[in-house]
Every structure is written in C-alpha cells, then in structure tokens.
C-alpha cells in the first residue's frame, strides 16, 4: 500500500509514520507537510535513516490541489491520511483566520484532489467538535452526538468533518473519519499541555494553570491512536466515523502534580491564571463502536505512558528547545 500522509511532521502524524513503516514492511509513505512553526522534520530523523527506501518528504501545503493530484498519480497513492491542521486553541483565539484557512479552505482543496483522483481519504479530527460536558455528568460523546464547538479551533475542525462527510454523500468519495481524545507521547510540540509542563518544570519555569484547573480531559497515548487508525483503514466501512478514547480522565491539576512529583520539583511552580475564553469543562468519548466493530482497545496505561513520556522529554532537550524557540518567534510576529 502507498500512503500520502499530510501533516506528517507534526506530533500524531510523525508517530503514525513511524508506527506504520515499522509494521508494514512493504508499504511506502509520502509525507506532505508545509512545515509551520509546530512541525519538525527532526521528529522523523530515525524514520529517514531506517526506512529511506520507503519514506520520502514533500514540502507543500494541502491547499496546493494540482501538486497533490500529480503526486497521487505519480506515486500511485492508495489512501490519503490527513493529519494536517492548525491545532492550538489559544492561538486560535489570537488569530482565528489561519485556522479556517488551513482546517477548512485548504482541507477542501485536499478533498478536491482526492475526488479528482478517486483516492480514499481518512480524516483525523478531535473530540472538541462535540463541545463540552458538565464536570459531574455521567454523559459521554457518542458518534451521533450533535456538534457544538465552543472555540474557533473547535469550529474549524467541526467544519472540516462536515466537509468530509459532504464529499462522501455528494460525490461518493471514499472517506472515513476518526475523532480522538487528547493525545500524549513523544515528539509532541511543547506548546501543548503535557510537554509544556514537563519542559517548564525542567527549566524551573512556572506551570500556568487556568483557574478552572480541575477541568477534565480524556488522555490517550499516541501509539494507541495510531493502532486505531490502522484498524479503521483496513477494516472500516466507507463513510464511517469512529470515536477513539481511553475512558481515562485526568484534570489539569492532576497532570501538573504527576509531572512535578516525577521530576522532584516543588508544587510552588504552579501558577494560576484566568481561564481562556471558551474554555471547555470536560471531554469524554464513548468509544464502544470501534471496540465492538473493529476490536480496538487501548493498550498503554496512563501510568506507564506518562512516565515514558516524561523520560523522553528529559532525554531529548535539544528537540523541544528548538521548537520552543520557533514558537516564540511565531508569537513575536503576531
């Protein structure tokens, strides 16, 4: 199988490429990424070294329809796996336009390229499209839960999901969608919560917690996410949508305490700041559909995964320091 992975220099995309090439020894992957501040080709140094004959990189934006059409035809691509997205809620509040340009308008051009070439596409979405749940609620989001996004980022991702479904319904494009809970693991940009807290603690910098720090998130290791996408690609019906969640919830307060304790850092590093606008209270996915239909289960416990993740950031300071510098330059340009 030949795969075109868009956004493959990002966190989940790079882990997916590594996962797939290690498992499927005859498959080839083209990684297409525009290399924004959040991307890092250094995340794929080992992939380039270990799978050079089956991996290649193209610097391009998913809005470049003709380039993608030509690439799909030239490389005989069987499926496009779309991870490409702007994905940081706080940045979306400061500059929402870029989120709709990338996550909606550019994604529509990618869908057009797939329609022209009659190529299947799997689109990766987020649990935040559903909105939020009350902290003490027993509810969870099933696949038929209505979309109620609360922030520009959430709205842009919800819009893309609807676009993908419209191309399936209107044009018969072969599509699948996965909606995942919060991922964590190696190679995650240090603007995100867990790597931000780890890297700040290592530098003895404050860990900024929103006042609503007891708001909950569902946490899933990125490798479990990759395994779920694998099953969807190989076994799901065309047009299907699946939630992917661990059912494991931790508050931001709990996450900060785990990290500080593991690194033997004082709790005094925690600093409380006002909530961001549209701050969601709680996400929890009902993942019974993918478990029942495809036999998927999360395999990595949070206790194991978080300790391995902390160790990875401790042992790879150059990687995350470079990305922190890129992010700071991005902020300075706004």
Q: What is the pLDDT of residues 278-329, one digit of tens each?
A: 667 888 999 999 999 999 999 999 999 999 999 999 999 999 998 888 776 5
Going from N- to C-terminal start, the domains of the chain cover: 2-185+219-248+278-303
Considering only residues 310 and 331, tell me which one the structure prediction assigns the higher pLDDT: 310
Phi then psi dihedrals of residue 22, to 5 deg: -70, -30
- Comparing CA positions, the residue from 154, 157, 188 lying closest to residue 276 is 154
CA separation, residue 158 to residues 100, 177, 312 (Å): 11, 11, 32
Q: Which fold has domain 2-185+219-248+278-303?
A: Rossmann fold (3.40.50)
pLDDT of residue 334: 40
For residue 89, is pLDDT > 80?
Answer: no
More confident residue, 326 or 63: 63
In a 3-state reduction of DSSP, which class is residue 2? strand
Q: Is 28 helix (H, G, I), strand (E, B) or coil?
A: strand
Q: What's the pLDDT tens digit per position in 258-281?
A: 999 999 999 999 999 887 676 678
Take residue 255 and report the two structure tokens written for it. Answer: 């996450």
Question: What is the reported pTM?
Answer: 0.94
d(CA 11, CA 8) in angstroms, rounded, equals 8
Q: With b meaning 16 or more CB within 10 Å and e meaning fewer, what string describes 292-310?
A: eebebebebebeebbeebb
């Amino acid at each position: 199988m030949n795969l075109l992975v868009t956004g493959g220099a990002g966190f989940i995309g790079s882990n997916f490429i590594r996962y797939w090439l290690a498992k499927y020894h005859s498959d080839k992957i083209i990684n297409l990424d525009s290399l924004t501040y959040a991307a890092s080709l250094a995340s794929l140094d080992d992939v380039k070294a270990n799978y050079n004959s089956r991996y290649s990189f193209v610097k391009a934006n998913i809005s470049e329809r003709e380039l993608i059409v030509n690439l799909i035809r030239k490389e005989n691509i069987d499926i496009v796996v779309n991870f490409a997205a702007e994905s940081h809620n706080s940045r979306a509040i400061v500059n929402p336009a870029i989120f709709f340009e990338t996550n909606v308008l550019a994604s529509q051009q990618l869908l057009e390229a797939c329609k022209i070439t009659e190529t299947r596409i799997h689109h990766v979405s987020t649990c935040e499209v559903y909105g939020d749940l009350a902290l003490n609620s027993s509810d969870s989001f099933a696949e038929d839960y209505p979309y109620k996004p609360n922030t520009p980022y959430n709205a842009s991702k919800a819009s893309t999901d609807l676009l993908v479904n419209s191309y399936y319904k209107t044009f018969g494009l072969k599509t699948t969608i996965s909606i995942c809970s919060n991922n964590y693991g190696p190679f995650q940009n240090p603007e995100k919560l867990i790597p931000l807290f780890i890297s700040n603690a290592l530098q003895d910098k404050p860990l900024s917690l929103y006042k609503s720090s007891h708001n909950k998130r569902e946490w899933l290791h990125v490798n479990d996410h990759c395994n779920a996408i694998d099953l969807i690609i190989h076994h799901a019906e065309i047009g299907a949508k699946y939630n992917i969640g661990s059912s494991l919830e931790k508050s931001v307060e709990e996450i900060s305490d785990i990290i500080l304790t593991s690194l033997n850092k004082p709790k005094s590093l925690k600093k409380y700041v006002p909530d961001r606008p549209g701050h969601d209270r709680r996400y929890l996915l009902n993942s019974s559909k993918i478990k029942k239909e495809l036999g998927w289960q999360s395999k990595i416990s949070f206790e194991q995964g978080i300790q391995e993740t902390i160790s990875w950031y401790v042992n790879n300071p150059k990687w995350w320091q470079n990305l922190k510098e890129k992010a700071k330059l991005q902020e300075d340009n706004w």
